[in-house]
Amino acid sequence: MIRSLLVFATLLFLAIPAAVVLIPLALVTRDVRLLYAVGCWIPQAAMRVAGISLCIEGREQIPGGRACIFMANHISNLDPPALLPNLPGRTVVFIKRSLAKFPILGYAFKLASFIPVDRDGQIESAQQAVADARHVLSSGLHITTFVEGTRSQDGRLLPFKKGPFYLAKESGALCIPVSIYGTETILPRGSLRIRPGIAHIIFHSPVDPAAHETRDELSAAVRASIASGLPEWMRTGQSAN
C-alpha cells in the first residue's frame, strides 16, 4: 500500500495547485488546451512514481488530420490515464450528467466539450448524446469510448454497447480499435493497491463504418480487432451485444 499512498500523494501535490490556477484560467480565457495538457501529464507522472511503464504499439496507424472514435476494452481504472495522454491532439469522453452539474468543474467539462450522458435508458437521452458527439467530431476533436460500458470483472471481453457504433454509422468517423492489457494486474478491479508493471496499449488499423452495412457488423469487426491484440485468455468473453 505504500506505493499506492505515494501515487495518491503525487496526484494531490500536483493536481491541487494545477486546478487552483488552471481551472480559473480556462474559465476566463475559454481555452482548455493548457488545462487538458497538464491534466494528461499529472497521471503520467504518478504512474512513473508507481513504477508503471507503457508499451505502445501501432500509433503510426492513427490517421492524421481527421477526427476519429477510439474504441478500447476496459479492465482497470488505470486505463483512461494510460490511454488518453497517448492519443494525438485532444480527445473528448462521455461523463455522467451528474458530474456536469458541479458549479466550476462542470463548466470546465463543458469548455472541454465533454459529453454528459444519462443512464436512464431513454431514447431521447441517447439521441441527445449522439447529437452532441457528432458536433464534437465535426469540430475536429476525437472521441474516446470504452465500448464495454464498464470494467470487466475478470479481464475478459464483455458485450459491447451499441451506442458507439450507432454514432460511428451516423457520423462516418473512422473507428480506431484499441487493445489494453496489463493494467488488470497493476490496478485490479475492486482494489486500491497499485503494483509496478507494464501497461500495453495497441492501436489497430482504422475500421471504416461505411465498409459495414449494419451496426452489428461494424461492432463485430471492431471486436475482432481489439481481441486480436489481447492475450488469448482475455478474448474468450461473451459475444457482442
- Whole-number Å distance between alpha carbons of 160 and 80: 18
pLDDT digits (tens, 9 = 90+) for 101-144: 777 777 778 888 888 887 666 677 778 888 889 999 999 999 99
pLDDT of residue 121: 61
pLDDT of residue 240: 41
pLDDT of residue 143: 96
Length of the chain: 241
- Give the containing element (helix H, strand E) for 12: helix 2-29
- Whole-number Å distance between alpha carbons of 142 and 86: 12
pLDDT of residue 140: 93
How does 197-232 read in b/e, with b if 16+ C-beta sit within 10 Å? bebbbbbbebbebeebeebeebbbbbbebbbebbee
Residues 53-234: name the CATH superfamily. Glycerol-3-phosphate (1)-acyltransferase (3.40.1130.10)
Return the residue matching grid coordinates 462516418.
172
pLDDT of residue 41: 94
- Whole-number Å distance between alpha carbons of 224 and 185: 23
| Opening angle at CA 189, ends 224 and 222, nearest 5 | 15
pLDDT of residue 99: 77
Taking 70 as the pLDDT cut, the residues of the chain under it are 119-122, 237-241
- CA 96 to chain CA centroid, Å, is 14
Radius of gyration from C-alpha coordinates of the chain: 18
pLDDT digits (tens, 9 = 90+) for 144-167: 999 998 899 999 999 999 989 999
